[in-house]
Amino acid sequence: MTTALPAPVDHLLLQADLTAVAPGPLTDELHALMQAAADVESRGGATVYRFTDKSIRRALDTGRSATELIEQLNVASPTPLPQPLEYLISDVARRHGQTRVGTAGCYLRNDDTAMLDAMSGDRNLSALQLRKIAPTVVISPRTRPRCWKCCASTGIRRLPRDRTGTSCMSEVSAHALRPHASISRHGSMPSPMR
């Protein structure tokens, strides 16, 4: 039965209107490329694919670079890549990945950039794995309570914020708000405040 089926083809006819014609069933490798980079527009004796912003973005999302995609299409085409297709790929690639999404347990913000730099390099805060993302902001994969305690243990003054950035002093215990006892000039602790 396999002898009755047409042999897979390893080439495409790329056209200036952002379509590609597969003159028969594609090889597995070329089929995978076209599944990622284009949408099927029509089927028949030949399959017509259309390249769009969305389909090119889909191909880039698989980890291909614009250069790799252009190279793979050039290999599959007996004619040079049409200029509109090359422009489309380059344009989509220029915008692709501009917005990055990541995870952070909490953030620390301070208008004193030198203080943030010092905190980022402080060995006592190394467990927080602080990473600067803006001149006045560092992030940590650790939770806010853990960052709060770690900063407190090193004497850093802090003000808690909720998810909206609003001060949430209700979370600070009365103990944390009391003035800390300090050692007097004579080396003794003053009597507790009443």
Taking Cα atoms as reference points, which of 152, 110, 153, 150 lies closest to residue 133? Answer: 110
- What pLDDT shows up at residue 165? 67
118 vs 51, which has greater pLDDT? 51
Q: Using an 8 Å Cβ cutoff, are 155 and 119 in contact?
A: no
- 61 in a structural domain: yes
| 91 shares its domain with 110 | no
User: 144 is in which domain, residue-wise?
Assistant: 106-161
Give yes or no: residues 57 and 91 share one domain. yes
Q: Is residue 46 part of a domain?
A: yes
Q: In the chain, how many domains are there? A: 2
pLDDT digits (tens, 9 = 90+) for 119-131: 889 898 999 999 9
> Do 82 and 118 share a structural domain?
no
- The DSSP element (H or E) to which 86 belongs, if any, is helix 83-95
End-to-end CA distance of the chain: 96
- Classify residue 174: in a domain, yes or no: no
Question: Tens digits of per-residue pLDDT, 56-113?
Answer: 999 999 989 999 999 999 999 999 999 999 999 999 999 998 777 788 888 888 898 9
